[in-house]
Structure 1
């Protein structure tokens, strides 16, 4: 018996152990979800869609380029053994609210057929050395797996909203990529072309483009110029130019052609190749080159150098060596994080103790000076490294499975404290190209083949660690006051940003700007030399922004506050810091109204004393369900007032919406007032909302705001404001009358039509409407004014 008991005990313990192990394993897995989308245009149902590129805007809007295979190969594509695509440009937007938008833009110039061909870099005579190649896994005709390096001539880049850049090629000889001319076209989110340009420098097959950290400042383009020869030595030179895109989408170059790197006689025997261009928070760039010394020397044979380029720079900067090694460099991955630039260098090592790959992290200032290098990991596999905007490091590799012909994507998170890789979400299936990116809020996006049919496509979203830790997409910001989505008004006098480390003011060309979200108009802009409006706390951890009364002076609006990169810098290391981009720090203004309880409900409310706040919360919950209103938009300051009749008055605020599909606060206030006034035939008569008094002046404050919104609403008429000035006394009468009946607002809206002069046909058009309005005037003075006198 005892033995049987021990066996059962051991079984239970083991089951509990495995349950706990499974629970721990699941908790360590990154959370992910799929975004599946079905195209509205069915097209060729026999050809499936593939995601060929993914990019993101600062506000987390996702830019996707999708392609379709062509059933028959074109002659141009066959010549270079590429893959023919459907001759149509498909661009898609995925917005933060989960909606998607399709555009199939037609560019100003008809694209050469070669643009709809994935070029096979392994099968053409002249190699393409672009930094944006795709890796594709396919079975060949005899069933063997082949790993192909493909180049898509069409590349998309997100510019300042609402624009994107489309890069394509023109050629008279599709077989030779050296003859390709690179061009660019700016289109808006509606697919309309705004401007185009063909670049006049270098060759296409070695060119690359990098968008500025501040997308309003455009981009830089690098291209290999030619091979120089001197003293029997030769080296490559690169040309670069900067381009800007204005608020109308006009594309222009802003700098002359400049050669990089600047080669001295002493190092003229070095072979240089461009491997990365990284945007910096000074609104410039850092060009990183790989160099090789083919001759025996006392210095290491292999290394990396960096050259800083400032925005609108027209001169050369000196290069700085940031890494040296005796072993060949396999790969380099660089990216900007916090205020620094990080590069991960992989080097293959084969000696008596280790045969595999070492991964070293290099930390670089934006000025191009290296300040830290150390080995972070070693592995026998060849992994690809990727930096996130918060300084996290992830590794990945793609594996083709011959059994089921699936492509598996393996993702590893690097734990810097333990110096180890932690595998996350293995057995993820990706599409042929495995294209992916990391958003600024630390979400990992991966192309997925998880589609239900040939007219749909799918995107996998994985929330990386720390995704919710940095609400401002900035590791240095601790908090703001007011916080994100807080309410402000015209009496708000200060904004406060608190940092995790001491800061100092930086570039005079950077600003803190407050925009009105509805039309992106600037309400207030502050540079760091306006000492009356910007200051730093004594400990250096906070900056205080003074706000003038007119900044937040419109009800039912959203505002966002942006801080340019390089507005501040680290006080201890004197390097520029990331700012707050558009659409992150959102502030709202609300409509405030006074809800009056009935006399009986007021007596019951007064007895509650300690539970009055709970009563108000429950009241707002019921109002939200019955109107209906998104509960997050309803609030109260919990300050209780009393009328002359000892009736309780509660302030209720309706905030602006985050979603354009929701009703405005003005419309919701009108609906609520109507339901209270006629509560005997609405659900307001049930539950706590029945405590609201339908006969008292609950709506006065709401209607005053509604009149204000009506005045600024352009649909009312261009001459409305002028009419207000002319008939001030009449307006005053109507504001008093509005308290008794909402219909007076409608009369107020159409009065300008009755007071201006018309031509004969205009008079005939309005004659019946005017009769109705003047009839309403008679009704006002005969019926309603006596009613107001009685109420008073």
Structure 2
């Protein structure tokens, strides 16, 4: 009994999309335990090796055709020759005493990959995880040995994909992944001439690692790689989110401009105060939510930075609580302010609770008297804004009344409320801003940068 045909036929063209080959027999057979191996002809570099009794090999219903699944990346190089070697005892006959059939020798079943390169000048940053054991060995190695490990790994990847070594580079940085594993990253440079694109190289790497039992990834440094994690593209955050960010900034700028124009046209301080509160809320709420999400989902990438992130966030809440408590306590002791607190107790209560999360809520709380319906001449407010009881304020106030009608009692009451709120909240808002910049935002930015960009331990 003989092999009658092979697909693709000898000297046929293949490419990276070729996903199976087949062997046709003159009589029914069953799969045995021999191997079918694919090599690159120029250097005998192993591309794929599968056993007949593996999941990669199947038979047709009539038993006359053996199908072998090809992993993406096996025929990855353009204009390169490959050969398929079939071991004897790959199949046995269903007759003739289950005789093992002779295979196909090296350099007989030759195949050639076509030049279907997709030219591109883009690069890609790729991450891959080490196994638990490999991670422990890596972390326990000296600082001088770590660069050598990166170099050895990239050399092997360049040889096994294959790809020119100069296209692979690494900053030799890494991060914790969880389960006592670490993740390392490297860059695939853009191709030249008919080479595979960075995206094609990534795809080939990923498929080869996922199917490492049938190729040469189980030997050398590539055996340290976690096949369940695979090779993942590290997205450039700016390129990924630049359109939503630019759109959000443009919308926010338009809203600010429109609100200022509307405030000027309406000549309403009440509208201005409400509009200012809405804009502040549009910044405060997303900032708080993103801070929580960062701690929950991202700070754990580096365990040594997780605790500082939680501690920093907790301390900021505690300080905001102290600032808010001190400010509200001073306000309650003032009869002018306490009347306004009682009148708008629901709003004041909500803002006071929220102020624990961000001092900016105090800036909204400061403008509560401006939410009233009473319209006053704010020239009076300008004169009296610093110290309503000062001699200068009283003199200027009396001078201004000469050319205007006497203020009504409710207008005087609102002026007092606005100025007292200013006096109570001004210093706490300043202190809150200084604390927010130097004790929360700057440390938080440092932590986020250290987490986003892998750092040396």
Shorter chain as denominator, the TM-score bin is under 0.3
Which has a greater percent of helix?
Answer: 2
Which one scores higher on RCO, CA 8 angstroms, separation ≥ 6? 2
Please identify the structure whose Cα radius of gyration is greater: 2
Which has a greater percent of strand?
Answer: 1
TM-score, with normalisation over the residues of structure 1?
A: 0.17
TM-score, with normalisation over the residues of structure 2?
A: 0.28
